[in-house]
Amino acid sequence: MKRKEKVKEYKRMEKQGLAKEVTEKQEHLRALRFDLIGGKVKNVREIRETRRDIARIKTILKHA
């Protein structure tokens, strides 16, 4: 999914849905970091994308 599509999707969501999405992304990021240490992560770029998604959602929540 492209960045602009993600932003549009996040803007259509309600605050509660966005808050839930942030917690899910944070848990996913935590799991990715543990897997990175264990050598299980194949796509390291996913960590960066997840961090940026969290930042996008938090920005939308802040301005909503």
Please give the backbone phi and psi of residue 57, each rounded to the nearest 5 degrees, phi first.
-65, -45
In tens, the pLDDT along 3-54 reads 899 999 999 999 999 999 999 999 999 999 999 999 999 999 999 999 999 9
SS in 3 state form for the chain? CCHHHHHHHHHHCCHHHHHHHHHHHHHHHHHHHHHHHHCCCCCCHHHHHHHHHHHHHHHHHHHC
pLDDT value at residue 50: 97
| Domains defined for the chain, CATH in brackets | 3-63 (1.10.287)
